[in-house]
Amino acid sequence: MKTWRMAFRAGKHGPSLWRECRQLGVAAIQYDPLNDIDLSPGEAAVPKTVWSRLASSQKWSVKQLAYEMQPGDVMYVKDGPRIVGRGVVAGPYRFVSASTIVEPGGVPWQHQRPVTWEPGIPEVAIQVGRTQQFVVEALGPDDVARLERELVAAGWGGAFASPDELPSGSPLVEGAATRVWVSGYERNPAVRAQCIAAHGTDCSACGMGFGSVYGPVTAGYIHVHHLRPLSEAEGSHVVDPVADLRPVCPNCHAVLHRRVPPYSIEDVRGFLRR
């Protein structure tokens, strides 16, 4: 899994299309030479005359979005000298010929990746990456750690303790350490799915369902909490999705992890009754 930084501005000094990308749940990019050209068949299928019209930084950014990103990768959103959003890449590159993300001049942003954008990410003034020239850039561990510290200092309390589930080839086995997060562990999407099938998508602590509060755009969104933290397990281990996990909203998840070991769900329910 990689961590990326991406900008969503139409040209160097143009308007930001981050709001449109966030609303549609995508990361998108566009350069005039690539209008109406589907990149899905691979880099070799794009005419060399088209690639030659792109600046080196533009080629790099397009190729990262179309060919290098993988589902489960983390993406931070750059807006000038700030980071303003965070999400997880949810699928492969796709070409959207009739994209509704359109620059003021009428050019549609047709090259996209689906991204699950997380709500409640604080904006922080920080520049990360080797160069600010590239629209899309993979971040190294030092930049990720620095960015995480700034976000925590800005009040972001729960995401690092509960990163979204990552792809895994071993069903119901979790816990292999990864160096992408400051203190992260691989999570298996099959485990998450079975937990939600058993317990639903309402928060086990406060009872909130995102869809009933924010509408259909957030229906089904929920974190999954490990009653026994993965950090306490020694390596990969079998997880019972029904007995070992509970669905919780991000706010309650952050409260659960306000101490080590975490508070219990019963503790958080008690906090809410005060």
The pLDDT value recorded for residue 174 is: 47
State phi, psi for 78 to the nearest 5 degrees.
-95, 130
What is the average per-residue pLDDT within 162-183? 37
Reduce the DSSP state of residue 36 to 3 states and report it: coil
Report the DSSP beta bridge partners of residue 83: 78, 124
State phi, psi for 89 to the nearest 5 degrees.
-60, 125
Where does the chain hold its CATH 3.10.590.10 domain(s)?
3-153
Closest to 1 in 3D by CA, of 165, 237, 175: 165
Closest to 162 in 3D by CA, of 120, 218, 210: 120
Question: Which CATH fold topology does 3-153 show?
Answer: ph1033 like fold (3.10.590)
Q: Is the pLDDT of residue 109 over 90?
A: yes
Query: Residues 255, 257, 166, CA angle at the centre, nearest 5°?
Result: 115
CA 135 – CA 133 distance, rounded (Å): 7
Q: How confident is the model at residue 62 (pLDDT cuts 50, 70, 90)?
A: very high
Q: Tell how far CA 176 is from the center of its chain.
A: 20
Percent of residues, the chain, with pLDDT higher than 90: 44
CA 224 – CA 212 distance, rounded (Å): 19
Q: Is the pLDDT of residue 47 over 80?
A: yes
Q: Between 32 and 237, whose confidence is greater?
A: 32
Average pLDDT, the chain: 82
Q: Between 73 and 179, whose confidence is greater?
A: 73
Q: pLDDT per residue over 201-250, tens digit each?
A: 999 999 999 989 988 878 888 898 888 765 555 444 567 889 989 999 99
Q: Is the pLDDT of residue 255 over 80?
A: yes
Tokens read off for 152: 């925590």
The pLDDT value recorded for residue 188 is: 54
What is the average per-residue pLDDT within 32-45? 92
**DSSP code for 201:** S
Closest to 17 in 3D by CA, of 93, 110, 81, 90: 110
Identify which of 71-75, 92-96, 164-168, 174-178 has the greatest average pLDDT: 92-96
CA 7 – CA 234 distance, rounded (Å): 39
Q: How confident is the model at residue 151 (pLDDT cuts 50, 70, 90)?
A: confident
Percent of residues, the chain, with pLDDT higher than 70: 84
